[in-house]
């Protein structure tokens, strides 16, 4: 039976982890390679890096991080943030990323999704959808949630599936950082309309939220950041909890 | 000993390279090349593959003489070869992804789309699934039945002779996820991304 996945996400800026695990015994808390290794040893089903480096001159730092991580972690590694072109995707894959997540570029230039999924295969193309509720629909935001495009999120999800995306990483901008739980309505609406797997993101504050994301939101995988980083829960605890709620996980 | 990972522009092979280098000790030299002479003189060959069946077959054919050398290596000389994902699928006679495409014909059978039962099952089949070992395979030495492996695919290999199947996985139906035919081995899952159990399979192959 296929298991639901738990994916810890690390924010990386200028090659360093911004929000990270607060482990006392960690020699270098800002080192993304060490943190990713802790997660993979702890049973993370995949690792996600979100590169939030703002300045262009430091953008290359992520390549070095990916290269070093992929030599130590043997679970799938997804890298997103600032991915603009087929060439960016190519570089990340060559450094050892298994999947690349595309956000703003997928909205501005959907050709990137079509071209890259043809060139590298759908399996490595994740489209990240940042959506915010407006009345009775959800609209796509780009540039890390700053720009409202007015594009309907559910229609966009279908379009990305047809363009060759292998998975969708759906983040609720209303919930992100709030720790009140995923936007279940958004997740289940998108999941029911498309046939590719949905990864739920944005808003996890406790382990029940992960359960809801899968049971109510019909997500194939759940992504979370802060509940793992600050030592509130380990990936292992999360898996055992999901297992106790009857959700199939890899233990 | 030389283990050669065939680099034929089949998509992202860095994880395959990293995992083999992690497992190989000083006695094993891991080469990544499309050089025909190096492949020929190698002790073992790994055939990775990502993207579509057609794009991988096209990429193999684009390197003049490569298919002949692989045939010589695996069929005439019967040296150990491991196909991963589409690398395994290409063993088939024929594949139906994008368009009907002739495969290598090493293990009789076809590659067709997984039946998603009218949308009941999401495709691609992505994530960790358990393998049901149905035949002793040399690459499964020390691997427990029902171990989890990482999968990413929408097409499945359906061999004609069921005796070659060494493991299946349950997704919509019993999908063939590992084959062994004499010196030819293949996994539909990605041992290079399947954590310690995956690395053990790679170790088993290297130590054949």
Check: CB of residue A200 under 8 Å from CB of residue A213: yes
pLDDT digits (tens, 9 = 90+) for A117-126: 998 999 999 9
Contact of A2 with chain B, judged by CB distance below 8 Å, is answered with yes
Distance CA A149, CA A140 (A): 6
Q: In 10 A of CB B194, how many CB atoms?
A: 25
DSSP string, A8-69: EEEEEETTEESS----TT-S-TT-HHHHHHHHHHTT-S-EEEEE---SGGGTTHHHHHHHHH
Task: Provide, as residue numbers in chain B, all residues whose Cβ is less than 8 Å from the Cβ of A70.
Answer: 14-15, 18
Q: In 10 A of CB B113, how many CB atoms?
A: 12
**Least confident window among A17-31, B37-51, B94-108:** A17-31
Mean pLDDT of all residues in chain B? Answer: 96
Residue A183's nearest CA partner among A205, A202, A159 is A202
A-contacting residues in B 17-56 (Cβ below 8 Å): 18-19, 21-22, 50-52, 55
Given this model, what pLDDT does residue B158 score?
98
Given this model, what pLDDT does residue B63 score?
97
Given this model, what pLDDT does residue A224 score?
93
Given this model, what pLDDT does residue A230 score?
75
pLDDT digits (tens, 9 = 90+) for B69-78: 999 999 999 9
Active site residue A98: no
Q: Is the pLDDT of residue B175 over 60?
A: yes
Q: Is the pLDDT of residue B11 over 80?
A: no
What does the longest C-alpha to C-alpha distance in chain B come to? 51
Average pLDDT over residues B112-122: 94
Contact of B200 with chain A, judged by CB distance below 8 Å, is answered with no
Q: Do A124 and B11 touch (CB under 8 A)?
A: yes
Average pLDDT over residues B104-111: 98
Q: Do A5 and B128 touch (CB under 8 A)?
A: yes
Give me the residue from A3, A75, A120 closest to B12, CB to CB: A120
Give me the residue from B12, B126, B192 closest to A74, CB to CB: B192
Check: CB of residue B10 under 8 Å from CB of residue B16: no
The better pLDDT of the pair B145, A17 is held by B145
Query: β-strands B148-153, B125-133: how paired?
Result: antiparallel
Q: Do A123 and B152 touch (CB under 8 A)?
A: yes
Residue A78 confidence class, pLDDT cut points 50, 70, 90: very high
**Least confident window among A51-60, B92-101, B153-162:** A51-60
Given this model, what pLDDT does residue B72 score?
98
Within its chain, how far is the Cα of A110 from the centroid?
19
Distance CA A223, CA A228 (A): 10
Q: What is the ipTM of this complex?
A: 0.94
Q: Is the pLDDT of residue A25 over 80?
A: no
Q: Is the pLDDT of residue B207 over 60?
A: yes
Q: Do A166 and B152 touch (CB under 8 A)?
A: yes
* % of chain A residues with pLDDT over 90: 81
Average pLDDT over residues B26-47: 95
DSSP string, A131-158: EEEETTEEEEEETTTTEEEEEEHHHHHH
A90 SS3 class? helix
Average pLDDT over residues A201-208: 95
Each domain of chain B, given as residue ranges in start order, spans: 2-206
Given this model, what pLDDT does residue A201 score?
96
Residue A231 confidence class, pLDDT cut points 50, 70, 90: confident
Given this model, what pLDDT does residue A166 score?
97
CA distances from B11 to A96, A153, B177 (A): 12, 30, 21
Q: Residue B196's closest chain A neighbor by CA?
A: A74
| Torsion sign (Cα): A14, A165, A222, A250 | negative
Q: Residue A96's closest chain B neighbor by CA?
A: B14
Q: Is the pLDDT of residue B12 over 60?
A: yes
Given this model, what pLDDT does residue A29 score?
66
What letter does residue A245 receive in the DSSP assignment? Answer: T
Distance CA B36, CA B26 (A): 24
Given this model, what pLDDT does residue B49 score?
94
Q: Is the pLDDT of residue B101 over 60?
A: yes
Give me the residue from B21, B124, B151 closest to A122, CB to CB: B124
Average pLDDT over residues A70-91: 95
Average pLDDT over residues B146-167: 97
* % of chain A residues with pLDDT over 70: 96
Q: Do B127 and A2 touch (CB under 8 A)?
A: yes
Check: CB of residue B104 under 8 Å from CB of residue B130: no
Q: Do A74 and B123 touch (CB under 8 A)?
A: no
Contact of A122 with chain B, judged by CB distance below 8 Å, is answered with yes
CATH code for the part of the protein at A5-244: 3.20.20.70
Beta bridge mates, A221: A5, A199
Q: Which of A38, A68, A121 to mutate to test the interface with B (most CBs of B within 10 A)?
A: A121
**pTM of the complete model:** 0.96
Each domain of chain A, given as residue ranges in start order, spans: 5-244
Mean pLDDT of all residues in chain A? Answer: 92
Taking the CA of residue B21 and the nearest CA in chain A, the distance in Å comes to 9
Contact of B15 with chain A, judged by CB distance below 8 Å, is answered with yes
Q: Residue B199's closest chain A neighbor by CA?
A: A74
CATH code for the part of the protein at B2-206: 3.40.50.880
């Amino acid at each position: 039976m296929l298991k639901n996945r738990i994916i810890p996400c690390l924010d990386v800026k200028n090659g360093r982890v911004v929000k990270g695990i607060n482990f006392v015994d960690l020699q270098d808390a800002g080192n993304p390679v060490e943190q990713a290794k802790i997660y993979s040893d702890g049973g993370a089903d995949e690792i996600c890096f979100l590169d939030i480096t703002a300045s262009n001159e430091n953008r290359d730092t992520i390549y070095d991080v990916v290269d070093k991580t992929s030599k130590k972690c043997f679970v799938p590694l997804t890298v997103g943030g600032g991915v603009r072109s087929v060439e960016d995707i190519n570089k990340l894959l060559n450094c050892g990323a298994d999947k690349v997540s595309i956000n703003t570029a997928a909205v501005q230039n959907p050709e990137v999704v079509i071209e890259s999924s043809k060139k590298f295969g759908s399996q490595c193309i994740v489209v990240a959808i940042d959506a915010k509720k407006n009345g009775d629909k959800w609209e796509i935001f780009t540039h890390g949630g700053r720009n409202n495009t007015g594009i309907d999120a559910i229609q966009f999800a279908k379009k990305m599936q047809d363009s060759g995306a292998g998975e969708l990483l759906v983040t609720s901008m209303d919930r992100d950082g709030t720790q009140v739980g995923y936007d279940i309505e958004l997740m289940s609406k998108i999941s029911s309309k498309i046939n590719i797997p949905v990864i739920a993101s944005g808003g996890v504050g406790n382990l029940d939220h992960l359960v809801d994301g899968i049971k109510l939101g019909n997500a194939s995988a759940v992504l979370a950041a802060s509940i793992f980083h600050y030592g509130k829960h380990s990936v292992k605890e999360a898996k055992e909890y999901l297992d106790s709620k009857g959700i199939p996980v890899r233990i | 000993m030389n283990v050669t990972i065939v680099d034929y522009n089949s998509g992202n092979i860095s994880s395959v390279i990293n995992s083999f280098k992690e497992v190989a000790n000083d006695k094993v030299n891991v080469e990544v090349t499309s050089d025909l002479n190096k492949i020929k003189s190698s002790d073992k060959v790994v055939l990775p593959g990502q993207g579509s069946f057609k794009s991988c077959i096209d990429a193999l054919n684009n390197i003049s003489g490569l298919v002949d050398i692989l045939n010589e290596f695996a069929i005439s000389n019967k040296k150990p070869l491991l196909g991963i994902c589409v690398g395994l699928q290409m063993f088939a006679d024929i594949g139906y992804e994008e368009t009907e495409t002739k495969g290598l014909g090493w293990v009789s059978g076809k590659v067709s789309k997984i039946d998603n039962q009218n949308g009941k099952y999401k495709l691609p089949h992505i994530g960790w699934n358990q393998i049901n070992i149905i035949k002793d395979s040399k690459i499964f030495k020390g691997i427990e039945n029902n171990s989890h492996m990482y999968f990413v695919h929408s097409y499945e290999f359906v061999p004609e002779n069921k005796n070659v199947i060494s493991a299946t996985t349950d997704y919509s139906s019993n999908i063939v996820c590992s084959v062994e035919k004499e010196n030819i081995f293949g996994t539909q899952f990605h041992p290079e991304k399947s954590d310690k159990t995956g690395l053990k399979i790679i170790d088993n192959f290297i130590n054949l």
